[in-house]
Amino acid sequence: MKTKTLFCALALLAMLVAAEASAEARNYSPHRTTVQQLTESAQLVVVGRLDRVEDVDLTEVGIDAAAHKRLNDGKFQDGQDYIRREGVLKVNTVLKGNVDPGSELRFVSIRQLRFDNYDADLRAGEAVYFLSARIEDGRYAIHNDERGTVSTQESGGDLMRTSFYIQQQVKDGATGTAALDRMLDAIRLDGSRLSVDCAIELSWRHESFAPDITAPQRERILALGRLSKPGSEERNQLLTAMGRLPAEGALDALLEIMLGDANWSTTSLASMSLEYVDRGQAIARLLNEYELAQDDTTRMVIVRSLGLIRPKLDHDGAELRTRTLNLVKGLLKSDTDKVLLREALIASRDLRSQDAHVSELKALLDARDTNGLTANEVNAAIIALAAGRTVDAEGNVNCFAKDYLLALGEADPVLDQVIKAAMKFPYTTLILGADGKGH
């Protein structure tokens, strides 16, 4: 029931978090590299200052040079044969593990970078470093490159707050009621690393916290979601947490946030959470809210959400399914706002509307030379029309507009490629949405 919405939301989630992280870090899973998870997995966690990077002469090429051959003039990675570059930390505070404060701690330089090619925030001052001895040779290495550091800049200028959080986790553990309070206190909605990572933990590891969470803590998640900034990473993560760890009134809060924030990520993640809270009630509320909507932006968000949730006859009942199909059908007209029209076309495709919209889609295409549709809308109408089909138990496809589409392709070679792709893969052929991206 939730497969499509969940896939879209989680795929988007991963992309957004990666985009927000360090400009240099690569190939990491955001939910596995939070401050909390790094604290649990690292052997050493220290606060220190990167003092220098030294070259150590070798009698062989070396595993690090082989793994990190020079790219981009050494600014991204700078492996050099017969050299191993080692970073040297001046340790200030030890948060986990055994090392002397005030000592120098050597580690294998991130991607064999020289000092000048480290991120500016790591060269400028102190940071938290998460390190472990690697299996190959016992030398310390930083977890997941720059993702295994938290700089003063990433901490919003308050590295002490992150350090104290880590000390408390080492002492009291990463789960339980006290850990939940600690995370909620740390979500400052300021975009700092600790704030974002705490929101990620609530989102991705909700099952770990569900047995211990209290009603007031659920309410705090809901309140933080309401206060979060549109387009922020904390909002993306808290929307998921609001559905997985719902408080009383979660449905109202999710709708309020979603209808006031037209970001695609907000609609996608909120729609997924609406399903978890109460799918049937969510669909009914969205349909009712459409009747009350005062502008096309709000209508667009509702249509997008209904297309993501996709009311089904056998699960949600004939009334909700029919109302949804009719709502979308009424928008498949050339005088509909173009942004709203494109979202309606996406919804028509995703709803598996069969023959419910065939006449309207044909009318749009027949008048394409005079009705003001751009190439984006024409392509979207073709894709939606190709999705109007049934598939029987043996996998036989009956595309209701097959003959029409084939004739259209023969008459208009410019559209032929779109038609062929749409007929083969109607549900994965992308339509340009309101955010300017393919969906």
Quick: pLDDT tens for 47-56.
Answer: 999 999 999 9
Residue type, 321: R
Phi-psi bin for 372: left (phi > 0), alpha (psi -120 to 50), beta?
left
pTM greater than 0.85 (yes/no): yes
Q: Are strands 83-96 and 44-57 parallel, antiparallel or unpaired?
A: antiparallel
Both tokens assigned to 170: 């080492």
Structure tokens at 36: 């909390």
Lookup: tokens for 3: 């497969």
Q: What angle do CA 9, 11, 15 make, to 5 degrees?
A: 115
pLDDT at 19 exceeding the cut of 60: no
Please tell me the predicted confidence (pLDDT) of residue 27: 73
Asked if residue 364 lies in contact with residue 381, where contact means CB atoms within 8 angstroms, the answer is yes
pLDDT score of 25: 66
The closest alpha carbon to 182, from 195, 193, 191, 190, belongs to 195
The structural domains of the chain, ordered by start, are: 1-26+202-329 (no CATH), 33-153 (2.40.50), 332-439 (no CATH)
**pLDDT one-digit tens code per residue, 174-224:** 999 999 999 999 999 999 999 999 999 999 999 999 999 999 999 999 999
Above pLDDT 90, what percent of the chain?
Answer: 88
Tell me what pLDDT residue 9 has: 55
User: pLDDT band at 18, cuts 50/70/90?
Assistant: very low
CA–CA gap between residue 436 and residue 263 (Å, rounded): 11
For 9, 41, 43, 96, 273, the CA distances from 130, given in Å and listed in that order, are 30, 9, 8, 9, 33
* Burial degree of 55 (CB within 10 A; 0-12, 13-18, 19+): middle
Percent of residues, the chain, with pLDDT higher than 70: 94
Quick one: pLDDT at residue 24?
59
Contacts of 174 (CB under 8 A, 6+ apart): 36, 39, 40
Q: How confident is the model at residue 434 (pLDDT cuts 50, 70, 90)?
A: confident
Q: Is the dihedral of CA 165, 168, 173, 176 positive or negative?
A: negative
Res 412: pLDDT: 92
Question: DSSP letter string over 179-206?
Answer: HHHHHHHH--SS--HHHHHHHHHHHHTH
Q: What are phi and psi of 145, to 5 degrees?
A: 55, -135
Structure tokens at 257: 């946030």
